[in-house]
Amino acid sequence: MTARLNDNDLTDNAYRTAKKAPLMKITDVEVLRIQAGTEPNNNWLFVRIHTDEGISGLGEGSLQYKDAALTAELENFGSYLRGKDPFQIEHIWTSLHRRVTWTGGAVTISAISAIDLALWDIKGKALGVPVYELIGGKVRDSVPLYANGWFSGKRPSAHGPQDGGEPERDWYATRAKAVVEQGYRCLKLYPFGGEQVITPERITRGVGLVAAVREAVGPNIEIGVDVRARLNVWSARRVAQQLEPLDIAWLEEPILFDNADTMAKFARSVRVPVATGEQLYTRWEFRALLEQNAIGIIQPDICHAGGFSELRKIAAMAETYYVTLAPHNSNGPLSTVASLHLDMAINNCHMQELFLNSVDLYHEVLTNPIVIENGNGTPPAGPGWGTDLDDAVLAKFPPADFTPVVSEPYLRF
DSSP 128-194: TSBGGGGGT--S-SSEEEEEES-S-SSSS-TTS----SHHHHHHHHHHHHHHHHTT-SEEEE----S
186 plus 323 within the same structural domain:
yes
Nearest CA-CA partner of 352 in 366, 369, 372: 372
- The domain of 219 spans 134-385
pLDDT, position 1: 38
User: Residue 340: what are its φ and ψ, rounded to 5°?
Assistant: -65, -40
Q: What is the CATH number of the domain that holds 22?
A: 3.30.390.10
Regarding whether 180 and 167 lie in a shared domain, the answer is yes
Please state, in angstroms and as integers, the Cα–Cα distance from residue 349 to each residue in 249, 270, 280, following that order.
Answer: 15, 24, 18
What pLDDT sits at residue 412?
64
For the cut 80, the answer to whether the pLDDT of residue 159 exceeds it is no
Question: What's the CATH code of the domain at 353?
Answer: 3.20.20.120
Q: In total, how many domains does the chain have?
A: 2
- Please state the rounded mean pLDDT for residues 341-365: 97
DSSP state of 63: -
Residues 6+ apart with CB under 8 A from 71: 31, 33, 45
Judgement on whether residues 193 and 238 belong to the same structural domain of the protein: yes
Residues 292, 191 share a domain = yes
Exposed, middle or buried: residue 390 (CB in 10 Å: 0-12, 13-18, 19+)?
middle
Boundary-marking domain end, from 101, 129, 157: 129
Q: How far is CA 366 from CA 74, 332, 360, 381, 391, in A?
A: 22, 10, 10, 12, 9
- Asked which of 129, 146, 165 is the last residue of a domain, the reply is 129
The answer to whether residue 248 is domain-embedded is: yes
Taking the CA atoms of 77, 82, 83 and 84 in sequence, report the sign of the dihedral they define: positive
User: Is-contact 42 67, C-beta < 8 A?
Assistant: no
Mark whether 359 and 269 lie in a shared domain. yes
Q: Where are the alpha helices (DSSP H) in 275-404?
A: 282-290, 307-320, 333-345, 359-365, 391-394
Q: Is residue 151 included in any domain, yes or no?
A: yes
In a shared domain, residues 312 and 347: yes
**Residue 302 to residue 378: CA distance in whole angstroms:** 17
**Nearest-angstrom CA–CA distance, 51 and 67:** 25
Does 405 reside within a domain? no
- Would you say residue 410 has pLDDT above 80? no
409: in domain: no
Strands 39-51 and 26-36: antiparallel
Last residue in a domain, options 71, 99, 129: 129
pLDDT one-digit tens code per residue, 201-212:
999 999 999 999
In sequence order, the 6+-apart residues with CB closer than 8 A to the CB of 401 are none
Residues 116 and 143 in one domain: no
Residue 107 domain flag: yes
156 and 122 both lie in a single domain: no
At residue 226, φ and ψ (nearest 5 deg) are -100, 120
Structural contact between residues 328 and 226, judged by C-beta atoms closer than 8 angstroms: no
Residues 186 and 235 reside in one and the same domain: yes
Residues 173 and 89 in one domain: no
Residue 304's pLDDT band, with cuts at 50, 70 and 90, is: very high
- Can you tell me the mean pLDDT for 244-258? 97
Same domain? For 115 and 224 the reply is no
Phi, psi of 144 (to 5 degrees): -60, 135
| The pLDDT value given to residue 37 | 78
What gap in Å lies between CA 64 and CA 55, rounded to an integer?
Answer: 29
Percent of the chain scoring above 70 in pLDDT? 90
Q: Write the Ramachandran bin of 183: left for phi over 0, alpha for psi from -120 to 50, otherwise beta.
A: left
Predicted confidence (pLDDT) at residue 24 exceeds the cutoff of 80: yes
Same structural domain, 177 and 72: no
Phi, psi of 370 (to 5 degrees): -65, 140
Domain presence at residue 105: yes
CA end-to-end span of the chain:
67
pLDDT of the residue at 409? 78
As a whole number, mean pLDDT of residues 60-81 equals 96
